[in-house]
Copies of this chain bind each other. A is one copy, B any other.
Amino acid sequence: MTLVLHNYFRSSTSTRVRAALNLKGLDYDYVSYALLKDEQRGAAHLALNPQGLVPTLVTDDGALPQSLAIIEWLDEVHPEPPLLPADAWGRARVRSLAHIIALDVHPVNNLRILKHLETEYGVDADGKAAWFRKWAQAGMESLEARLSSEAETGTFCHGDTPGLADLCLFAQVLNNGRFGVGLDAYPTIARIHAACMAMPAFERAAPANQPDAT
């Protein structure tokens, strides 16, 4: 199977997918779109994904956008190592943890939203950083509260192997660093993030290690 990932080094949804591909041991071709130049809104990428957002994974079956849909698909067609637990309640827990970040933090802080705050309301760089921090901190607090209190938390978000929630946590923590959201207030998240970074599959997925990194 040929896999081509259309993405951008700094996009945290792209980082999630790169780490998932690496954990599965899957090779892929890397195509980059400079989001600051709106290249993802060009005709070539819109033909793959009318939404004009990265990432899109092109597979032998077709083009698949949306990072969580890509990761769930990868886990179904390449089940080893699994990115979701074997039991339904465990899968529900992992998805509910992942979605704190993937639904309630990342979309609100996406580049297109920050750009719009600037153009529509004149929000400056400090104001955009404050916006980012507000929603990132709310999500991190919720995630920390759950991870630190729930018995299923292990070395990673659910037990001792990394999965969907760790992919989201990992990418969000790296993104948070750009806006001054550190890990001091979130010891469980910090510990899990360190466990991710210690694995080559995650480390190779980090923005700084991509061919289009600036």
Contact = CB atoms under 8 A, between A and B. Distances in A.
Contacts of A73: 88-89, 91-92, 95
A108 B91 CA distance: 26
A80 interface: no
Given A52-B142, A88-B73, A107-B104, A68 B99 contact: yes
A31 to B, nearest CB: 18
A50 B147 CA distance: 11
Contact of A96 (B69, B116, B134): B69
Contacts of A93: 64, 69
Contact of A121 (B53, B70, B102, B121): B121
A51 interface: yes
A91 B76 contact: yes
A72 interface: yes
B51 A100 contact: yes
Contacts of A103: 66, 68, 102-103, 106-107
A210 to B, nearest CB: 22
A110 B103 CA distance: 11
A61 to B, nearest CB: 5
Contacts of A62: 89
B108 A95 contact: no
A91 B77 CA distance: 11
Nearest to A142: B51
A123 interface: yes
Contact of A123 (B51, B53, B66, B121): B121
A65 interface: yes
Interface of A: 50-53, 61-62, 64-66, 68-70, 72-73, 76-77, 88-89, 91-93, 95-96, 99-100, 102-104, 106-108, 110, 113, 116, 120-121, 123, 131, 134, 139, 141-142, 145-146, 149
Shortest beta-carbon contacts, A-B, top 5: A50-B145, A69-B95, A51-B142, A73-B92, A69-B96
